[in-house]
């Protein structure tokens, strides 16, 4: 088994820097588009065989060191009772948008093995099909990032409704976040029980806040999840799986993020990785941090950047290579294949 | 004359911290909407009397310490030969989108007193109407931020086409940026000649880059403008007006931004101002940095945040209070009025 990724997550010695890529199972791959042509996005998420198939594609094609379950961070919103739909080119639509106590009261904390069983089935299937080749990463949206979609009813430019709820009705926001946090906690436990060997918590929109607001309105809910997962993993004598916390636009928030209790910190590309490590502390394990759009550079320039990131990462206790955000659909797959090869070759001891 | 703003820009002693607010002449004001109801956005920009009228509104209503010309950063794009239109609720449309050498070759560096004369006329009119009450700030988009709109054809989510041009055709990008930079330089000179008493260069999208890319693809063009403006102001024995450089999402880029040569650095809200000052150097003058959406907080909470920002700003050589980005249309005007009063009261020596 290739356990380089898990070893790096635990800060153990590795023969080379492991790499996986956010949204590695995605539209930039012709093999993915072939399946996506036959089923819509939500159907793919909800059909374990299809989800498993596209999850496995990048393992063979890219030679990455981990698989990440094909799914969407908004699946729990639907399980909580909100309508979820994806319109081609328009992004997700969640309805009704959560703006008042009535709507929040109608939402519930679902049993993940009930309304989200397809996710756990996909994980169970994948663990069989992977046959230990590479570890399988499960994931969920962080409570705040999940809340933005539920409050805005989809994506947003300035998160006006989310911040208005926080600033105008903080108690309402807190009660809503309690429900989301409980949902995500149970969801991640179910993923781990089903066989996820690491989990990543995506806080894509966490970086829209000042450090003060981040500490008050984003971080405590992530801390609650991580604390609960850790004590659950200990008490259940489950395998202790690594927890990765990824925040978009981290540069102003690293000192806050550091207190989350995560095992690995995802860093986006807007900051030099060595500067990020300096602020996180050199005893951390970091993941990142190439700009996803640098995949449009000629391969010799990509190689320069890989060297640069590997060099900057050397001051951390451990490093998992990744892009700073998901790979975009227009990306040339051959450059992603080359990236994985470069990381393996250039980091080999 | 209230020259507190200009004194603060020069690092001189001031009786209180001056404040102005990005997009202070805007849709959150009923007085603005009354005029906007009679003319479309571009007509307002292009009619000096209307532009002057809405520029003056916040001076009376808010009691801010500077006026900023009502205009749009995309005006120079039209003057360069690209089509510009604003569709209600959809943002700007620029056509044809700039993607190849042919399109770039058709663009030209305009004489600002020709195709953008209305801007300079508005400045001349405003200087008369202001009668020295407060200084008038002129502005332009930074070359990179301007380029993103011209390349994408409007706003963008991930600036795919812009980064593709940069990464796939860097020489083409450089030739395009040369043209934009020359345009913006002449445009700012014309604004200063017409009477602008300070200028702000808006690099709203500069923060989408890694520090390495920012240093290579964003910063040199801003440096070129600032160098040229400074030597022009010296040689023409013009008044030496302060230059403010504002970058969105600055947190990872402060060391780079510091080398721009600007007199004042705009800082957004995603970083604590004292941390920003630490990285910029305590000899700097900073502008910022309250989250625009914090204007939805109750006034007692706004006051706490004003105190916090003022306290953090005290380590800099000078401070101009501002939001970290433009005030949003839904903002309650009474909170903005209260903000200005709080800044004046709480900072008074």
Q: Which domains does chain A have, with CATH numbers?
A: 4-71+112-148+165-347 (3.20.20.210)
Distances in Å between the Cα of B83 and the Cα atoms of B103, B107, B167, B264, B265 are 12, 11, 26, 33, 32
Point out the residue among B167, B301, B328 whose CB comes nearest to the CB of A158: B328
Query: Tens digit of pLDDT for each residue in A103-162?
Result: 999 999 999 999 999 999 999 999 999 999 999 999 999 999 999 999 999 999 899 999
B330 touches chain A (CB under 8 A): yes
Query: Tens digit of pLDDT for each residue in A266-300?
Result: 999 999 999 999 999 989 999 999 999 999 999 99
Residue to test with chain B: of A251, A280, A288, A313, most B Cβ within 10 A: A251
Known catalytic residues of B are 23, 27, 36, 72, 149
Query: Tens digit of pLDDT for each residue in B201-236?
Result: 999 999 999 999 999 999 999 999 999 999 999 987
Nearest to B295 by CA among B26, B18, B5, B86: B26
Measured in angstroms, the CA of A275 and the nearest CA of chain B are apart by 9
B114 touches chain A (CB under 8 A): no
Contact residues on chain B for A297, CB-CB shorter than 8 A? 167-168
Q: Is there a catalytic annotation at residue A127?
A: no
Contact residues on chain A for B163, CB-CB shorter than 8 A? 291, 293, 296
Query: Tens digit of pLDDT for each residue in B136-160?
Result: 999 999 999 999 999 999 999 899 9
Give chain A's radius of gyration (CA, Å): 19
pTM: 0.96
ipTM: 0.94
Per-residue pLDDT band for A74 (boundaries 50, 70, 90) equals very high
Point out the residue among B167, B251, B293 whose CB comes nearest to the CB of A167: B293
DSSP B326: P
Per-residue pLDDT band for A236 (boundaries 50, 70, 90) equals confident
Mean pLDDT over residues A81-97, rounded?
Answer: 92
Measured in angstroms, the CA of B195 and the nearest CA of chain A are apart by 34
Q: Is there a catalytic annotation at residue A36?
A: yes
Distance between CA atoms of residues A250 and A116, nearest Å: 30
Distance between CA atoms of residues B155 and A328, nearest Å: 17
Mean pLDDT over residues A16-41, rounded?
Answer: 97
Residue to test with chain B: of A293, A295, A303, A323, most B Cβ within 10 A: A293
B211 touches chain A (CB under 8 A): yes
Contact residues on chain B for A252, CB-CB shorter than 8 A? 251, 270-272, 275
Contact residues on chain A for B168, CB-CB shorter than 8 A? 296-297
Token pair, residue A39, equals 């089923």
Per-residue pLDDT band for B88 (boundaries 50, 70, 90) equals confident
Contact residues on chain B for A158, CB-CB shorter than 8 A? 292-293, 328
- Long-range contacts of residues A6-10, Cβ cutoff 8 Å, at least 24 apart: A6/A135, A6/A197, A6/A198, A6/A242, A8/A285, A8/A318, A8/A319, A8/A320, A9/A198, A9/A242, A9/A244, A9/A263, A9/A264, A9/A285, A9/A318, A9/A320, A10/A242, A10/A263, A10/A318
Mean pLDDT over residues A202-226, rounded?
Answer: 97
Q: Is the pLDDT of residue B257 over 90?
A: yes
Per-residue pLDDT band for B87 (boundaries 50, 70, 90) equals confident
Which of the following is catalytic: A10, A36, A215, A317?
A: A36
Q: Is there a catalytic annotation at residue A149?
A: yes
A245 touches chain B (CB under 8 A): no
A261 touches chain B (CB under 8 A): no
Give chain B's radius of gyration (CA, Å): 19
pLDDT at A1: 83
Measured in angstroms, the CA of A301 and the nearest CA of chain B are apart by 9
| Chain mean pLDDT for chain A | 96
Which residues, numbered 82 to 111 in chain A, qualify as contacts with chain B under a Cβ-Cβ cut-off of 8 Å? none
Cβ contact, residue pair B328, A160, below 8 Å: yes
Query: Tens digit of pLDDT for each residue in B108-123?
Result: 999 999 999 999 999 9
Q: Is there a catalytic annotation at residue A72?
A: yes
């Amino acid at each position: 088994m290739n356990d380089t990724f898990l070893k790096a997550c635990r800060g153990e010695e590795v023969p080379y820097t492991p790499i996986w890529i956010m949204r590695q199972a995605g539209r930039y791959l012709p093999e993915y588009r072939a399946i996506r042509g036959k089923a819509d996005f939500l159907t793919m998420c909800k059909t374990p065989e299809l989800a498993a198939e596209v999850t496995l594609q990048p393992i063979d094609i890219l030679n990455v060191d981990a698989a990440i379950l094909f799914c969407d961070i908004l699946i729990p919103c639907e399980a909580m009772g909100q309508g979820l739909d994806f319109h081609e080119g328009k992004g997700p639509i969640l309805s009704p948008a959560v703006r008042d106590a009535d709507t929040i009261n109608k939402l519930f904390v679902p049993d993940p093995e009930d309304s989200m069983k397809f996710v756990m089935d996909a994980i169970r299937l994948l663990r069989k099909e992977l046959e230990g080749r590479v570890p399988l990463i499960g994931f969920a949206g962080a409570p705040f990032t999940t809340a933005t979609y539920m409050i805005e009813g989809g994506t947003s430019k300035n998160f006006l409704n989310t911040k208005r709820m926080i600033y105008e009705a903080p108690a309402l926001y807190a009660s809503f976040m309690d429900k989301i946090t409980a949902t995500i906690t149970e969801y991640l436990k179910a993923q781990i029980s089903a066989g996820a060997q690491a989990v990543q918590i995506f806080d894509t929109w966490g970086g829209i806040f000042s450090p003060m607001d981040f500490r008050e309105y984003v971080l405590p809910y992530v801390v609650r999840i991580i604390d609960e997962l850790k004590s659950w993993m200990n008490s259940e004598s489950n395998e202790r799986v690594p927890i990765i916390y990824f925040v978009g636009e981290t540069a102003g928030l690293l000192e806050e993020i550091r207190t989350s209790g995560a095992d690995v910190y995802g860093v986006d590309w807007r900051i030099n990785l060595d500067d990020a490590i300096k602020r996180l502390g050199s005893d951390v394990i970091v993941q990142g941090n190439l700009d996803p759009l640098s995949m449009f550079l000629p391969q010799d320039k990509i190689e320069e950047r890989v060297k640069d990131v590997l060099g900057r990462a050397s001051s951390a206790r451990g490093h998992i290579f990744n892009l700073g955000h998901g790979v975009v659909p227009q990306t040339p797959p051959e450059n992603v294949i080359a990236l994985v090869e470069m990381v393996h070759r250039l980091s080999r001891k």
